[in-house]
Chains A and B, each alone.
Chain A
Amino acid sequence: MIRFVGFALGRAWQGFWRNVVMSVAATGTMVLMLLLLSGFWIVQTGLIAGLEFVEQKVQVVADLNDATTAEHATQLVTRTAALPEVARVTYVSREEALQRFRDARAAQGEEDLTPYLGSNPLRASLEVTLRNPGRFGQVLEVLRAEPDVIRVKDIQDLVERVLTVTSMLRTAGAVVLVIVGLIVLFIIVNTIRLAVVARAEEIEIMRLVGASDAFIRWPFVFEGALVGLFGAGITLAILFGASEPLARFMFDFFRVLPFRVESIARDVSLLVTGTGVGLGVLGSWLSVRTYLLR
């Protein structure tokens, strides 16, 4: 067994370098396809994160009666947070609301108008972030039934518009990724097939001299894996080389989005290596199989 694996690996290595033009062409195609796939995957990840970001902006805001005591407000927050549809509840007191107003004016470079006010005209409120914006209706009902709540902004129109756009973009992103995935699959498998077909005579000679299927197949399979491994290595080197300046350029955009660069790097590495080696092996296996079945 060890001798066989040694033989197959040795022959795969030898086959790669002795047919170096074909091997380089296959590896080059592999790199381009993996760059294409991982590029689309990263865009898709960014898109999903962006859509989540937008959806999180959809909040149900309930204004509270001025007479609501702090104790009542705390109980209300606890009750609301316990609802299954609710992700997070923030209590904004009247003072905080006023401070936010001041901050917003300051951020816009506008004059602070609050010194002209005799009293604080703003109400305390609950800002309810939903797990799923589509199910805002139930939360709306519950809040409206609370005696301390005097008004809940109806956000139905906003929610519907946001959800239509985000679900359309999600579907479009997934469809594009699947199409790109299929293109990558066919191109890589066919490229490997061309490399194997170029050596059809070698396979024929092996059959004629009495090589068993395993002795014919596995060197080619290992060679396909080798092409995949080299392709994945080069692709990841390019990606990580490019990620630094790209991240700097995109930093302001990405920092608001709810995703982590480390997990993307890990996922891209797994995707590129898995796809490269997997398709290399699949392509070789299928290509050699057509000769073995004859």
Chain B
Amino acid sequence: MLASPGASLAPVVTRLPSPLSSSSTRSGRYVARQQDGLADRVRGLLTGRAGARVRRPPDNTVLVLRDVTKEYANGKQALRDVDLVIPEGDFVFLVGPSGAGKSTLMKLIIRDELASQGEVFLDGEDLARVPRRQVPRIRRKIGTVFQDFKLLPSKTVRENVAFALEVTGTPRRQIGPAVDRVLALVGLTAQASQTPAQLSGGERQRTAIARALVHDPRIIIADEPTGNLDPLISWEIIQLLLRINELGVTVLMATHDADVVTALRKRVVALEDGRVIRDEVGGAYHRED
């Protein structure tokens, strides 16, 4: 782990293009960002329709959990009375010990599980009321990134990213340009023809992030995205997520990486034993009072 994030961060930050460099120093205030078209700009960037604007209220929330309890069939309560509101453009760290309920929370958001009590709204839709056939449509609003990358070893970087569009019925002529744009965004244009086995851990995770982005999602859910990476590479991945967030995409990242959380001073939601014990803007990994 990095003993001094600031010192270690500097060389990484300088390698990454603006506007990323400023994000690591921003901390403190929690505001529902009045992004005024920032999300639209990133959508335009990703879809190639620069200037395309999607009308949304400025205080739009991407994710709302209202009094959510999740009890599994074996009687174990993984989440209890969780309330969480994530506005568009937010960057939220989800922290807590193993078994605290982070993975369950993520499963509820991608509607892999349904809440036993309470409501989960994604982009204004109550997930419990979304019919099964509509679940794929909901999932296209979410980009998921995992610790183990979940890349297909027999496919190249380009094919792995294109796969997400192919299996959702995107017309072939739209796939190529969309993949090119996200690969450029994550800095993998040169590696497009390589397979995951030929990539470093960081490059694999950037491929997974590109795949998560290619659908132009409303929110990126990252479950321990740096868990398999060494500290320096972890910082590169975090910087990439911050940059994507700067472009307007909401990010919810579950992590055990205390250095990263404490250094960035973003919003921190801490879970313990299924309950939210802390929801702090500009917080550290551990409670600081």
A residues touching B (Cβ–Cβ < 8 Å)? 3-4, 7, 11, 18-19, 201-202, 204-213, 215-216, 294
Contacts and interface: CB of A to CB of B under 8 A. Distances in A.
A201 B136 contact: no
Interface of B: 110, 112, 133, 136-140, 142, 144, 150, 152, 154, 163-164, 166-169, 171, 211, 215
A8 B152 CA distance: 18
A68 to B, nearest CB: 83
Contact of B154 (A11, A18, A211): A18
Nearest to A206: B167
B215 A209 contact: yes
A213 B112 CA distance: 14
Contacts of B142: 210
10 contacts: A7-B166, A7-B169, A11-B166, A204-B150, A205-B152, A208-B139, A209-B163, A209-B168, A210-B136, A215-B169
Contacts of A3: 169, 171
B167 A209 contact: yes
A269 to B, nearest CB: 35
Given A209-B139, A210-B139, A215 B150 contact: no
Contact of B136 (A4, A18, A204, A212): A212
A192 to B, nearest CB: 19
Contacts of A205: 150, 152, 163-164
Contact of A210 (B112, B133, B137): B137
Contacts of A4: 169
B211 to A, nearest CB: 7
Contacts of A294: 112
Contacts of A19: 154
Contacts of B167: 206, 209, 211, 215-216
A211 B168 contact: yes
Contacts of A215: 167-169
A216 B273 CA distance: 36
A201 B168 contact: no
B17 to A, nearest CB: 27
B150 A210 contact: no
Nearest to B141: A210
- Of A3, A19, A208, A212, most buried by chain B (CB within 10 Å of CB) is A208
B168 A212 contact: yes
A209 B169 contact: no
A19 B164 CA distance: 19
Contacts of B137: 210
Contacts of A202: 152
Contact of B110 (A201, A208, A211, A216): A208
A4 B110 CA distance: 25
A7 B171 CA distance: 10
A281 to B, nearest CB: 20
A174 to B, nearest CB: 43
Contacts of A216: 167
A18 B140 CA distance: 26
Contacts of B168: 209-212, 215
A209 B154 contact: no
A22 B112 CA distance: 29
B177 to A, nearest CB: 18
Given A18-B154, A201-B150, A202-B152, A207 B139 contact: yes
4 closest residue pairs by CB, A with B: A210-B140, A210-B139, A211-B167, A209-B164
Contacts of B112: 294
Given A3-B169, A209-B211, A210-B168, 6 more contacts: A208-B110, A209-B144, A209-B167, A213-B136, A215-B169, A216-B167
Contacts of A11: 166
A208 B110 CA distance: 8
A208 B152 contact: no
Contacts of B164: 205, 209-210
Contacts of A204: 150
B150 A208 contact: yes
A158 B207 CA distance: 81
Contacts of B163: 205, 209
Contacts of A212: 133, 136, 168-169
Nearest to B137: A210
Contacts of B169: 3-4, 7, 212, 215
Contacts of B136: 207, 210-213
A207 B168 CA distance: 10
Nearest to B154: A18
B136 to A, nearest CB: 4
B200 to A, nearest CB: 21
A207 B150 CA distance: 12
Contacts of A206: 167
Nearest to A7: B166
A18 to B, nearest CB: 5
A207 B138 CA distance: 11
